[in-house]
Amino acid sequence: MEALSRNPQWKGRRGPVLLAIMDGVGYGEYRDGDAVAAADMRHFRALEASCPATRLKAHGTAVGLPSDEDMGNSEVGHNAIGCGRVFSQGAKLVGASIATGAMFEGRVWKELVANVAASGGTLHFIGLFSDGNVHSHIDHLSAMIARAAADGVRRVRVHALLDGRDVSSQSALDYILPFEAFLAGFNAKGFDYRIASGGGRQYITMDRYNANWDIVKRGWDCHVRGVGRRFASAAEAVAAYRAENPQLIDQDMHEFVVCDANGPVGTIGDGDSVVYFNFRGDRAIEITAAFEEENFDKFDRGPKPKVFYAGMMQYDGDLGVPKNYLVTPPAIDRTMGEYLAASGVKSMAISETQKYGHVTYFFNGNRTGKFSETLEDYVEIPSDRVPFEQRPWMKCAEITDRVIEAIDSGAYRFIRLNFPNGDMVGHTGVFQSVVCSMEAMDIQLGRLADAIRKAGGVMLISADHGNSDDMLEHDKKTKKVLLDKDGNPKAKTSHSLNPVPCVIYDPECKGEYERNLAEGLGISSLTATCLDLLGFVPPADYDRSVLSMKA
């Protein structure tokens, strides 16, 4: 990796460049349900009003997703911010692989099928059961099941992780009922295809960053061992849980195990094949470890079944996880972190557990580890293990404490941080908590601005996607708020399609660039912007900076 070229016209400021990523904070389309607009964010609004500012695209094709109807997410957002270019991402790659048939002609699919053919076993699919297109898409699952039938697989079991986060909060039956009808079509032809288990994504299976292995254990016990509350069908399970708690959202639903007169219909045993059909990596790595690692010590698995396991994609290229995968992920190279290390720039990345991997692994192009042990410091603040709506301030103050120490030390030229509040609290659907989370974060932005001013640095404030800016469901045609069966506004727990801020606080600016920032760009332009502010010439193939530097 070659070092970056210096900008002969400008060497940057005396203090560091701080990239502050307000995760899940955008500009809302609707007044009703916009927690960002409702919050007292006086520090951010003062900076926005007095500093160069613009809005950036953070969804759809701007971050490598198939269409502009696709919500952005933290994974692809941090990929784009970290590498300065747009790569085709998970959903797009998987869709193309299915459409061309490449997935089914590959070695891994053939081995999945051959394994159960030889053993008389079952082909299992585990994954997020929705069309949210952030971690998975139910159409991908349907296509694989149809192909399994064509390939003669007689027995299929689906382990459905309910969403309610990237889609409407109580939409589980909207997916389960049509899917059960879909499976019934195969059963009418003599196949044995069923939903076998499931539960909410925040309760079973889909933990990340080692935050709470109990979530993974509950998923393992449910999917593999058939341990959990028993029901005759997935639809019955959802109806029963909803009757007991009408306010329960899908992501928090407890586990269910589908049973018949003989017991659980779909435990995972020796000779079976298993596909984890999520394409996004962060919430796939831990359950993959439970299936693949021999010396696994996170919880007692009981006897580990001898299965052929595959992921939809490779979730960690450096660690080679999983060993087998159906679709090759994008090869993201020449990230900003790698360039800065090659250029001798001391940098720091920091967040709390919930987003630590985003400012490290995803920011570095899905790469585990540092580019330089001497030039990079990564700091993880442990997240609280409580529902986010109960601690909406999360760890933004602790993150800020460490960043201010880093600024004052003079040791770093570039610092990147992620405040998870807008995303993690936004996913709860609790409006009051989201407003609180925004105001807590804003206090920290004020503290950071003071530290940057004293140090003579620059703070670039932006986001990876929207969420907290769109907290109520709206009718797309009438723009009116949708109501639930009790006449209350329907909470929205998914990301938004809204643009995100780009604000440059540069208190020692001497007119080195135009105050009017470029418009119509995506968040991948933040990379070149940071390099401009550091006094480097961005690589020629990076998406352009929002800045227009003066000669």
291's enclosing H/E stretch is helix 285-292
Give the Cα separation of 548 and 515 in Å (integer): 8
Query: What phi and psi, each to the nearest 5 degrees, are found at residue 440?
Result: -65, -45
Q: Return the bridge partners of 466, or none.
A: 496
Give the Cα separation of 316 and 327 in Å (integer): 13
Please state whether beta strands 325-327 and 347-352 pair in parallel, antiparallel, or not at all (unpaired): unpaired
Query: What phi and psi, each to the nearest 5 degrees, are found at residue 514?
Result: -70, 140
43's enclosing H/E stretch is helix 42-50
Taking each helix axis as running N to C, give the angle between helix 213-223 and helix 285-292, from 0 to 180 degrees, rounded to the nearest 10.
Answer: 60
- Alpha-carbon radius of gyration of the chain: 24
Give the Cα separation of 536 and 539 in Å (integer): 9
Cβ burial 469-504 (10 Å sphere, 16+ → b, else e): bbbbbbeeeeeebeeeeeeebbbbbbbbbbbbbbbb
* Per annotation, catalytic residue among 5, 50, 67, 74: 74
Active site residue 74: yes
As a 3-state breakdown, the chain gives helix, strand, coil percent values, each rounded to 5, of: 35, 20, 45
Which residue, among 106, 37, 19, has the nearest Cα to 310 in the 3D structure? 106
What are 38's two structure tokens? 């409702």
Q: Which positions are catalytic?
A: 74
